[in-house]
Amino acid sequence: MWGPAGLLAAVLPGWRARPGQQVLAQAVQQAIEQRGIVLAEAGTGTGKTLAYLVPALLAGERLVVSTATRALQDQLRNKDLPLACRALGLQVRSAVLKGRGNYVCPYRLQRTLEQGLLDSRAALQQLRRVQRFAAETDDGDLSALEGLDERSSVLPWVTSTRDNCLGSECPKLRQCFVMKARREALAADVVVVNHHLFFADLALRGEGVAELLPAATTVVLDEAHQLADIGAQFLGSVVGTAQAQELARDAQACGLQHARGVVDWAQRAGGLVQAARDLRLCAGAGAQRLDRAQARDLPGWESAVQRWRDSLQQLLQAVESVQECAPEFARLAERCREQSRLLQDWQEEASPPTPAQPAEESVRWLEAGTQHLRLLATPLGIGPAFSSLLAERAQAWVLVSATLSVNGSFRYARARLGLGEGSAALQPLGDDPGPRLRELRIPSPFDYPAQTRLLLPRRNFHPAHAEHALRVAELAARLIVVNPGGSLVLSTTLRAMARIAARLRELLPASRRVLEQSSEPKGVLLRRFASDPRAVLVGSHSFWEGVDFPGEQLTLVVIDKLPFAPPDDPMVAARLARLEAAGRNGFLDYSLPQAALALQQGSGRLIRGEQDWGVLAVCDQRLLGSAWGSRLLGSLPPFRRVEEVEEALRFLQDHSAAAP
């Protein structure tokens, strides 16, 4: 299978045997046979996807694969899975299952077309494009509709959510693309889902995954480093101004369609929209996160929340008065009650802890974006729920990622996933006396000392300095000028990102186009960057992972500082406080491991193949000057380190001279 003359070599020109890939495949095969759990870190280039697909396909039973993003789902279904099947000579039925918001809803599309509620010319043009797409598509997956921005204002009008879906009451049930996708998934041998969908079902929100799991012999959770954070989003609760506006929009559309003239629907819907906007204004301009106490201290907060609840009550009375007119009104009434309940729960004072009732294991906090605001109650961890799921199911579980260990240890990952000492998930199954969990670290096959340089300035780059962002930009500019390929600058904050991008535009020649994260949608920026071999992309947050530019598309990555989570973030502060209360060190047990994994992700953007090369610059002198810096460096691949900018410049210039 894996050798230079094996089955995979026959279908993949240029195939090279990778011992680590075979080791991972054998571990997956053993887990399938013993219904075990594999926690595997497979460095970039290992070929982890084929390493788990091949043994799972050979087992001949249902396989569920969950990955981090919709784009990775499509790659698995359209590229990796057909390749594995071709090598094995197998034919399998496969299906991709995504959340409702990815599919056209025929009923909501028809209603939007009939009601004429969109008044902008651009929105109407997009609506007509969706209409044509819906008439031609087999699966209704909007990712296939090119040029439709994922932030388009038309999407809520033509897709459904768990809140507004009519289910069996829908007059367009037979044409429903979501139901079709679920039917295909139930009949498939291999089903590809994403983590958001996986945890939505774990939280009993009925997205279709729960029906698949019982019959699956093997469950693969790829990009497993994201499980804990994504899971926490779904195991808590959230209510926000976007939900209020969506409810108002649906109530007005339904009222005008089924009960026109009975109620002043524009007035009731407008009241709810205005109340939601008033609450968002309480949080001030700009994006921020506040804990519950800080939110309640905002001027006008309490009265704004009450106006939101009053508006919900008025809308509820309206839809209840016409509930017999259409099935949609009953669902709208449920949504009014649910939003009001979530608002009340979030506002209520927490009960003081007692021996019988310990302190809350969740955090209530506020997240304000540029337009919307969300009130969240998020569990501090998913460990209990996740380990219970694994304990309940006698299946093979494969948790794999390029970044799971910290300085060679899986302790942090195990703790976050509830796989520590005494976990019920780790108890042997049946008569098997052996441990159920196997940990595996497979290094990348790439020659990092030859292919890379890691620039670590020892002086003048402390993040506490007021001019740190400008110094980062000036260092980056020196490297970018001689870099023959693309350059990526990763920032830990949006403010620093903006300062770095602005300074780079001043320092660089016009031939070096500087692209900035906030200027355009992510997909557009990535396409622009890929098409310009000398472009510079400055990004934060979402650009630290999932960005893949092989070869000379990306030969320089600059990181402004170590990616520690801000200690005043409500979730971070609560996790640190819980660790400190348990007598543990919050910095060493949470902040440092979290930063190590994030740094691994950021540095992993540079080398994606055996022929890749480049320079990684981490502009934070604490890596070399602190007692804990070695733990972060020990988590990185074996880059060849340099401390002087001139050495990194020579490396780039040598490759520039060698380029054709």
Tens digit of pLDDT for each residue in 266-286?
Answer: 999 999 999 999 999 999 888
pLDDT at 205 over 70: no
Dump pLDDT digits (tens) for 416-441. 999 987 777 787 665 554 578 999 99
Please tell me the distance from the alpha carbon of residue 559 to that of residue 540, in angstroms, as a whole number: 10
Predicted confidence at residue 115, as pLDDT, reads 82
pLDDT at 124 over 80: yes
Please tell me the distance from the alpha carbon of residue 403 to that of residue 48, in angstroms, as a whole number: 12
Where residue 658 falls among pLDDT bands split at 50, 70, 90? low
Predicted confidence at residue 370, as pLDDT, reads 84
Please tell me the distance from the alpha carbon of residue 433 to that of residue 426, in angstroms, as a whole number: 11
Please tell me the distance from the alpha carbon of residue 603 to that of residue 598, in angstroms, as a whole number: 9
Provide the β-strand partners of residue 141.
103
Provide the β-strand partners of residue 66.
193, 221
Residues in the chain: 660
Dump pLDDT digits (tens) for 501-543. 999 999 999 889 999 998 788 888 898 999 998 899 999 988 9
Do 7-99+179-233+382-442 and 448-658 show the same overall fold? yes
Find out whether 609 and 45 touch, Cβ atoms under 8 Å.
Answer: yes
Find out whether 154 and 118 touch, Cβ atoms under 8 Å.
Answer: yes
CATH of region 7-99+179-233+382-442, choose from 2.70.98.60, 3.40.50.150, 3.40.50.620, 3.40.50.300: 3.40.50.300
Phi, psi of 362 (to 5 degrees): -135, 165
The per-residue DSSP string of 68-85 comes to S-HHHHHHIIIIIHHHHH
The three state secondary structure string of 454-475 is EECCCCCCCCCCCCHHHHHHHH
Please tell me the distance from the alpha carbon of residue 591 to that of residue 575, in angstroms, as a whole number: 10
Q: Residue 370's closest CA among 241, 523, 542, 499?
A: 241
Residue 298 DSSP label = S
Phi, psi of 138 (to 5 degrees): -95, -30
Please tell me the distance from the alpha carbon of residue 471 to that of residue 476, in angstroms, as a whole number: 8
Which residues have C-beta within 8 Å of that of residue 486, sequence separation ≥ 6?
529, 532, 533, 534, 535, 536, 537, 549, 552, 553, 554, 555, 556
Predicted confidence at residue 358, as pLDDT, reads 46
Tokens 């054998």 locate to 26
Where residue 352 falls among pLDDT bands split at 50, 70, 90? low
Where residue 206 falls among pLDDT bands split at 50, 70, 90? low
Does residue 385 sit in helix, strand or coil?
Answer: helix
Please tell me the distance from the alpha carbon of residue 368 to that of residue 637, in angstroms, as a whole number: 37
- CA 363, 227, 618, 496 dihedral sign is negative
Mean pLDDT of 350-376: 76
Predicted confidence at residue 429, as pLDDT, reads 65
Find out whether 241 and 277 touch, Cβ atoms under 8 Å.
Answer: yes
pLDDT-above-70 percentage for the chain = 95
Find out whether 557 and 606 touch, Cβ atoms under 8 Å.
Answer: yes
Question: For all residues of the chain together, what is the average pLDDT?
Answer: 91
41-80 in b/e form (b: 16+ CB < 10 A) is bbbbbbbbbbbbbbbbbebeebbbbbbbebebbbbbbeeb
Find out whether 443 and 255 touch, Cβ atoms under 8 Å.
Answer: no
Find out whether 549 and 486 touch, Cβ atoms under 8 Å.
Answer: yes
322-348 in b/e form (b: 16+ CB < 10 A) is beeebbbbebbbebbebbbebbeebbe
Predicted confidence at residue 599, as pLDDT, reads 96
Q: Where are the domains of the chain?
A: 7-99+179-233+382-442, 235-350+359-379, 448-658
What are the structure tokens assigned to 378, written together? 């998020």
Mean pLDDT of 328-336: 94
Tokens 């934060």 locate to 540
Q: Residue 277's closest CA among 300, 252, 254, 253?
A: 300
What are the structure tokens assigned to 486, written together? 């693309």
Query: What's the one-letter identity of residue 109?
Result: L
Structural element, H or E, at residue 599: helix 592-603
Predicted confidence at residue 457, as pLDDT, reads 93
Predicted confidence at residue 356, as pLDDT, reads 46
Please tell me the distance from the alpha carbon of residue 314 to that of residue 15, in angstroms, as a whole number: 66
Find out whether 475 and 524 touch, Cβ atoms under 8 Å.
Answer: no
Strand 288-291 relative to strand 396-401, pairing? unpaired
Predicted confidence at residue 657, as pLDDT, reads 63
Predicted confidence at residue 208, as pLDDT, reads 66
Structural element, H or E, at residue 440: strand 437-442
pLDDT at 629 over 90: yes
Residue 410 DSSP label = -
Predicted confidence at residue 477, as pLDDT, reads 97
The per-residue DSSP string of 415-446 comes to HHHT-STT-GGGSPPTT--S-SEEEEEE---S
Find out whether 244 and 315 touch, Cβ atoms under 8 Å.
Answer: no
Tell me whether residue 587 is exposed, middle or buried, using C-beta atoms within 10 angstroms of its C-beta: 0 to 12, 13 to 18, 19 or more.
middle
Q: Determine the topology of domain 235-350+359-379 in CATH.
A: Fumarase C; Chain B, domain 1 (1.10.275)
Q: Determine the topology of domain 448-658 in CATH.
A: Rossmann fold (3.40.50)
Phi, psi of 272 (to 5 degrees): -70, -40
Please tell me the distance from the alpha carbon of residue 208 to that of residue 204, in angstroms, as a whole number: 10
Mean pLDDT of 179-194: 93
Please tell me the distance from the alpha carbon of residue 276 to that of residue 72, in angstroms, as a whole number: 35
pLDDT-above-90 percentage for the chain = 73
Structural element, H or E, at residue 247: helix 241-258
Q: Residue 397's closest CA among 406, 405, 388?
A: 388
Where residue 604 falls among pLDDT bands split at 50, 70, 90? very high
Please tell me the distance from the alpha carbon of residue 322 to that of residue 106, in angstroms, as a whole number: 24
Dump pLDDT digits (tens) for 110-119. 999 988 878 7
| Longest CA–CA separation in the chain, Å | 77
Please tell me the distance from the alpha carbon of residue 488 to that of residue 616, in angstroms, as a whole number: 10
